[in-house]
Amino acid sequence: MTPIPARVAVFDIGKTNAKLVVLDTASGRELVSHRMANRVIAGGAYSHYDTDALWTFLIASLKAVAATPGFDAISVTTHGAAAALLDAHGELALPVLDYEHDYPQDIKSDYDRMRPAFSETFSPRLAMGLNLGAQLHYQKTAFPHAFARVRTIVTYAQYWSGRLSGHFTTEVTSLGCHTDLWNPALGRFSTLVDALDLSGILAPVHSAFDALGPLLAPLVREIGLDAERDIPVHCGIHDSNASLLPHLIGRESPFSAVSTGTWVVSFGVGGDLGRLDPARDTLANVDAYGRAVPSARFMGGREYEVLTAGMEAEQIEAGDAALIPAVLARGTMLLPSVVPGCGPFPGMTATWVSAEDASDAERHAAICLYLALMTQESLRLLNAGGPLLVEGPFARNGLYLSALSAFSGRNVLALEGSTGTSLGAALLAGGIAPSTCGDAAPVTPLGPQGEMETYQRLWRERIAAR
């Protein structure tokens, strides 16, 4: 019987940053964290991730934590919409494509003719390479000679667990996150796999919980670990689904979980798959147990980054709550979308209303209201009830949280900790009790309630008028 690990090292790759954390399984607490920017290389055939730099960072970080605090297992979580194309030697036949790289229109049109219907995959047609199937079609079409060398295709988290263990796989949460490659109802590959002639190339599907094998012996020596002790490497999981996993273990449905980062991904556990609208960035994700979960997304973290560029943090954070009455009275608001092509209003371009003389602090307050409104609009499309759990960077934004509580009329709980993705990935290795999966702080709704309702109604009316 495999012993329960006391500490789990998690390699966590987000779209913007990557980190290596060690979590204590008794408390669920992060003991140490190493971080780096997740750099995109613009040169070569197409924009791609710097996998060499990520690997160097991973090994150096594992060396740094090998003795103190130490670790007994390794798990991986990454952003979705990425895959590694491997040759016969297990090396990259093509670089790992950045999902924000765009393709020629003729290739996109050809893909649109072959991709399955939404009713099969619950995966909407998304911009750029956000559908993994579109990436594979592009790479196969534009680079036929390099693609001919591909012998195995693995989803992104499983590329890293494969390099650590020597066993390359695919996994359902990574296949089920708007790839067009998975049929959630039947729990198997979609018809697109045969249409792209990939059935013999996609690696076998494993559970996120599976231990693929021990850490490879050369890596054990390089990192400086005890050669007599096996370190299991777990298959890994898509990051938004990693955030969801602790709640699936410790909470009854219905409830909603909002995972915030570069993307704001809302899960409506116990919601209605029949209400999903592919034109408004709603879809079914597939959870760690293989079940379809109604979901919605918008690029909220990226939008916040763009909107607050150049603002001084000390000035805008000090007076947000005090500025709300003035913002509401003047009707200062931001209409969607700052990042076009995704979210509940993908075809719209952002516009400020009644903001001509607004200060940075007032604009920041309105930005927080905008992000709360966008989140609520996504949640409304899922028709899920129960409490609303928020984790990630936005869980530390008090104005966003209280506005979301007011706009949704639901009980909003802010989860402590920097991110739920690392905790969810650590759960794959076992040993963490549901009671350690994050303390939830209740949120007081922003008021006055009548004025908040009026603000939300005007926001929706102005969107409808556009």
Q: Which of 162, 153, 161 is nearest to 192 (CA)?
A: 153
**Which DSSP category does 435 fall into?**
G
Q: Which two tokens stand for residue 373?
A: 């409104």
What is the rounded (10 degree) CA torsion for 213, 217, 221, 222? -70
Q: Which two tokens stand for residue 246?
A: 């602790």
Q: Which of 83, 171, 179, 172 is nearest to 123 (CA)?
A: 179
CA–CA dist 103, 436 (Å, integer): 44
Please say whether the beta carbons of 316 and 361 come within 8 A.
yes
Kindly tell me the burial class for residue 442, based on how many C-beta atoms sit within 10 Å of its own C-beta (0-12, 13-18, 19 or more): exposed
Q: Which of 456, 443, 374, 438 is nearest to 410 (CA)?
A: 443
pLDDT score of 68: 96
pTM above 0.95, yes or no: no
Q: Which of 362, 413, 421, 9 is nearest to 240 (CA)?
A: 421
Please say whether the beta carbons of 367 and 300 come within 8 A.
no
CA–CA dist 247, 438 (Å, integer): 9
R_g of the chain computed on alpha carbons: 22
CA–CA dist 233, 237 (Å, integer): 12
pLDDT score of 168: 98
Each residue's pLDDT, cut to its tens digit, for the chain (466 residues) gives 567 899 999 999 999 999 999 999 988 899 999 999 999 999 889 999 999 999 999 999 999 999 999 999 999 999 999 999 999 999 999 999 999 999 999 999 999 999 999 999 999 999 899 999 999 999 999 999 999 999 999 999 999 999 999 999 999 999 999 999 999 989 999 999 999 999 999 999 999 999 999 999 999 999 999 999 999 999 999 998 998 998 898 788 899 999 998 999 999 998 888 889 999 999 999 999 999 999 999 999 999 999 999 888 766 665 578 899 999 999 999 999 999 989 999 999 999 999 999 999 999 999 999 999 999 999 999 988 899 999 889 999 999 999 999 999 999 999 865 457 899 999 999 877 655 555 577 899 998 999 999 999 999 999 999 8
Q: Would you say the C-alpha torsion 233, 131, 93, 147 has a positive or negative sign?
A: positive
Is it true that domain 251-465 has CATH number 3.30.420.40? yes
pLDDT score of 438: 53
Q: Which two tokens stand for residue 302?
A: 């990226």
pLDDT score of 439: 59
- The yes-or-no answer to whether 7-235 and 251-465 have a common fold is yes
Please say whether the beta carbons of 365 and 325 come within 8 A.
no
CA–CA dist 369, 391 (Å, integer): 18
Q: Would you list the domain boundaries of the chain?
A: 7-235, 251-465
Mind giving me the DSSP string for 348-380? ---EEES-TT--HHHHHHHHHHHHHHHHHHHHH
Q: Which two tokens stand for residue 283?
A: 């879809």
CA–CA dist 403, 455 (Å, integer): 11
CA–CA dist 9, 274 (Å, integer): 39
Please say whether the beta carbons of 401 and 443 come within 8 A.
yes
pLDDT score of 434: 59
- The CATH class given to the 7-235 domain equals alpha beta
